[in-house]
Chains A and B, each alone.
Chain A
């Protein structure tokens, strides 16, 4: 069965530290990959997406993610986090087979200390 694994459930960083959140998926076919973010008190919103082409994608607020097909990974990165990045981050995968079912990881809760 298709699954998405996020390596860390909780991450605590100081401002200006670098961030990398891991995401691995188990589906072997063509996929579309997403990172969604949920800020405190707000609903889920898209951070960035990968459909095809350049495996390094850039999203909002300085976030980027790299798709490594051989590792079935789509890790999220940010060179220097800010207090306002405190949120929960979800990796999601949609199989690109004509169906639109999306599987989400369990999420990583990031707390950035000011």
Chain B
């Protein structure tokens, strides 16, 4: 296994468009996390899954954001009606039963 992968690596979209990102975790990891990172800041927690169940979602996350993890494998993060403030790096991480997380390379979103 080569680690956590994310697709696409870069996305440029116009304000108001919808975008969807995909994360493929390490296969035996049952926890999956999404974070957002902006310049000069650490990763900001968005949501996490235990298998297919979404167990927690940040209160900072507006209703325009939704995440799914069908069948407990890959996950998708969708942002509807994008805004310029959504421009950031979106990180995915997976974790085994211990708490340490393995991060993917991220998807850089630019909203013009």
Contact = CB atoms under 8 A, between A and B. Distances in A.
Interface of A: 4, 6, 9, 32, 34, 36, 43-46, 49, 51, 90, 92, 94, 96, 99-107
A44 B98 CA distance: 17
B103 interface: yes
Given A34-B100, A46-B101, A100-B50, A106 B95 contact: no
B24 to A, nearest CB: 14
Interface residues of B, number: 25
B55 A43 contact: no
B50 A104 contact: no
A32 B101 CA distance: 12
A102 B33 contact: yes
B31 A43 contact: no
A106 B40 contact: yes
A31 to B, nearest CB: 10
A32 B104 CA distance: 21
A50 to B, nearest CB: 10
24 contacts: A4-B42, A9-B40, A32-B99, A43-B91, A44-B91, A45-B102, A46-B100, A46-B101, A90-B42, A90-B43, A92-B42, A100-B33, A100-B55, A100-B99, A101-B48, A101-B56, A102-B99, A102-B101, A103-B45, A104-B42, A105-B42, A107-B40, A107-B41, A107-B42
B99 A106 contact: no
